[in-house]
Structure 1
Amino acid sequence: MQRRTFLRATSAGAGAVALCGTLWQGAAAHAASSAGTPASAGPYGPLLPPGDLGVAVPRGFSVRVVARSSHWVRGILWHPAPDGGACFPDGDGWIYVSNSEIPLIGGASALRFRPDGTVDRAYRILSGTTLNCAGGATPWRTWLSCEETFRGRVFETDPYGRRSAVAHPAMGRFKHEAAACDPDRRVVYLTEDEGDGCFYRYTPHTWGELDSGRLDVLCESSGGGVEWRQVPDPSGPVFGRQTRHQVSAALHFDGGEGCHYHDGVCYFTTKGDNRVWAYDAEAGSLGVAYDSTGPLDGVDNITGTAGGDLYVAEDGGNMEINVITPQGVVAPVVRIDGQEESEITGPAFSPDGTRLYFSSQRGTSGNAAGLGGITYEMSGPFRH
């Protein structure tokens, strides 16, 4: 089944939007039924019993710990509360970057891996920021680290540690969550972690330079579909209206989380209603790729593969990462046992697609400050 066929089967129609600003019109039974597919029908088969690390994976896969919060790793103390992350190629090795979702000193760190998978070095790429939750990689190999706080900012960082991070206030001052670059339309999509948050599109004046541009918000159109309208004041003044309240026709989503762009579609998750949305940028329509009924519960960070598989991490639920295939199959690919007070964050594939990195933000301790965070690497025959 092709991507557009899947979207037609799982959406509420091309941009069907209720006047109240919600999209779900009861036509997503297809998504609910596909979500009920047994886990054993997943592309990797069922999960085996958890191993010594308390992590369950399918046959043929293995897991190891690559970093622990508050523990030394190649010259730095790995940050607490690891959150959003991404991988970048680096010569014959690769780099995994990870945000730190703690106040005041959050920032982000990086792990550089040698060709054999051993950690070569670790270093900070952003410091002195607050509650860095998710973000997104750019085509020019920088990491957008987003602050999940009132009037939060987007920082563009260098995964290779050569250049200082730069804030981009033109991308909006709001409770940022994730970012996803669309190189085809030369825009960046942004989610907002509020109970009535919005979905944004940032168009830089020059692609590859994010310091200036136009911020739009997704709105209900007069014809019943969706359209983009400019946010009058992206700075979100303290004593004025926040960005999500500046355009009356703006669509509101219940707790925006991760987002991921692939083949003309930006997928984004909303934790309040446990959905994975699909904005078809080519058609200019909005649909639902996954509704709340099924094995995936507590949707949060999301990533994907070149082949179209989506990988969605759970905040709570039963601590799984689930795959959603282009055929609509939903099944767990990894589960962490004994860490019910944590959440899975930062899923990202190595450049060759054979390793999946992710973290348990609070680990076995459940410590609210994330001091027990654990960052893992899962290796095996992933579908590309």
Structure 2
Amino acid sequence: MERRNLLRAAVLGGTAAAFGGTLWRGAAHAAPAQPGAGPYGALGAADANGIRLPSGFTSRVIARSRQKVSGTNYTWHDAPDGGACYADGSGWIYVSNSEISSTGGAGAVRFSSSGTVTGAYRILSNTNVNCAGGKTPWNTWLSCEEVDRGYVYETDPWGVKAAVRRDAMGRFKHEAAACDPQRGVIYLTEDVSDGAFYRFRPTTWGDLSSGTLEVMVGSSATSGSVTWARVPDPTGATATRNQVSGTKRFNGGEGCYYANGTCWFTTKGDNRVWAYDAAAQTISLAYDDSLVTSGTAPLTGVDNVTGTASGDLYVAEDGGNLEICVITPAGVVAPFLRVEGQSASEITGPAFSPDGRRLYFSSQRGTSGSSSGGITYEVTGPFRT
């Protein structure tokens, strides 16, 4: 039996939770997503920025690495990576990590209500390979170091308060974080080939200075029940993923996004999008490129992930043909945009403005293929909100 069919047989019976919760209420028999017509139609020709978009959508460049952000004195950082948006009065702020060794950190761009750039500034400096992270309900940005025994830093998107290192959240090769306010936990991914999936329970919700780090425990199956166990030593003197017997392994944890009782996270090593149903404590596959039953898998090199109130997930590619793909609540996966002429780059940091009408993301290495060539974009159009 071909690997695709074998895996499909193994998971098809247990994937109803892949689209669990009210966010995915339209998926009656939620097998892993399959290619189909996207909600916005086919991609058009590349625009002046080299981006192919559906009809009705437009793009603009917001910032370029090593160049001043237009209208400001701030020089945009190299290798822009994970990002998030924050309401700022009638405008908003987009924050972005810098995946650079030793001097990484994060920066931010402020926008007026009309989308005009009104400021840009640094919010975190001199940290190490800041890859992804996550937004908290109390409007801070968790910037994660993707190095062995890396830290999580809690930062202020407004750049007023000093960043704070959050040791209690564990030391490992951090990738992304997603907050679950219903249960008072933060989910964390780990970017190694035999990585784990974690959750951090703050002693007091909203205060990350202390708490308990837990790791997911379960069989090697791609669907079914899981449990959580306390990590004895979050300092990582012994790798956190190797401290608890039965830790469930994931091949290269990447993006992480929570909404309405479900935490979605991606694993780049096997091109999967996972869904954790927090109420049922079950895990399943929302997408697996090896389970595409016809045609070519549209989504490969899965990486950062975000979503909208409509229930659509947007998954960025590190590799593939440099697309952001949309996975709909009906279980259809399709390209939303494609970046042309930047094959040595990756797409990072997808995040929507608070009103859901603008999507921000970066091409980490741009046309040059170098970390100094990063480009941060905005896409505007009739998004489903």
TM-score (norm 1): 0.90
Unaligned residue ranges in structure 2 (runs of 5+): 1-10, 18-28
| Partner residue in 2 for 1:226 | 226
Residue aligning to 1:350: 353
Matched residues in 2 for 1:268 and 1:100: separation?
A: 21
Paired with 1:307 and 1:286, the residues of 2 have a C-alpha distance of 22
Residue 326 of structure 2 is aligned with which of 323, 339, 348?
323
Partner residue, 1:304:
307
Number of corresponding residues: 355
Counterpart in 2 of 1:134?
A: 132
Query: Following TM superposition, by how much is the alpha carbon of 1:171 offset from its aligned partner in structure 2, in angstroms?
Result: 0.4
Percentage of identical aligned residues: 64
Aligned residue in 2 for 1:66: 62
Q: Distance in 2 between matches of 1:246 and 1:347?
A: 33
Does structure 2 retain, via aligned residues, the 8 Å contact 1:154–1:176?
yes
Structure-to-structure mapping, 1:1-384, within 5 angstroms = 13=14, 30-31=31-32, 34-37=33-36, 41-73=37-69, 74-220=72-218, 225-237=225-237, 241-292=238-289, 293=292, 294-367=297-370, 370-384=371-385
1:35 Cα offset (Å): 1.9
Task: Tell me, in whole angstroms, the C-alpha distance in 2 between the residues paired with 1:349 and 1:135.
Answer: 15
Equivalent position amino acid for 2:307 in 1: G
CA offset digits 1:107-153 (Å, max 9, x no partner):
00000001111110000000010100000000000000000001000
Q: Residues 2-61 of structure 1, C-alpha deviation per residue, up to 9 Å, x if partnerless?
A: xxxxxxxx7652799xxxxxxxxxxx9932xx4232xxx110000001011110000000
Distance, in Å, in 1 between the alignment partners of 2:12 and 2:109 is 39
State the TM-score, normalizing by the size of structure 2.
Answer: 0.89
Q: Is the 8 A contact 1:11 1:289 kept in 2?
A: no
Distance 1:53 1:76 in 2: 22
2:26 equivalent in structure 1: none
TM superposition shift of 1:307: 1.9
- Partner of 1:30: helix, strand, or coil? coil
Indicate the SS of the match to 1:371: helix
Change (3 A) 1:338 1:213: same
Deviations 1:94-117 (A, max 9, x none): 000000000000000000001111
| Structure 1 residues 56 and 287, CA gap change in structure 2 (3 angstroms) | same
Partner of 2:46: helix, strand, or coil? coil
CA deviation profile, 1:256-312 (whole Å, cap 9, x unmatched)? 000000110000000000000000001110000001132001100000011211000
Q: Is the 8 A contact 2:16 2:30 kept in 1?
A: no
Q: Which amino acid aligns with 2:235?
A: S
Q: Tell me how far apart the structure 2 counterparts of residues 348 and 214 of structure 1 sit (CA, whole Å).
A: 28
Q: Is the alpha carbon distance of 1:206 and 1:126 closer, same or farther for their aligned partners in structure 2, counting shifts above 3 Å?
A: same
Cα pair 2:264 2:274 within 8 Å, conserved: yes
| Matching residue's letter, 1:151 | R
Aligned residues of 1:200 and 1:215 also touching (Cα < 8 A): yes
Amino acid in structure 1 at the alignment position of 2:248: L
Contact residue 221 and residue 227 of structure 1 kept, 8 A: no
Aligned CA distance change for structure 1 residues 255 and 222 (closer, same or farther; 3 Å): closer
Distance change (3 Å), C-alpha of 1:325 and 1:29: closer
For 2:85 and 2:288, how far apart are their aligned partners in 1?
28
Shift of 1:225: 2.6
Counterpart CA distance in 2 for 1:106 and 1:130 is 5
- Secondary structure at the counterpart of residue 102 of structure 1: coil
- 2:220–2:248 contact (8 Å) kept in structure 1: no
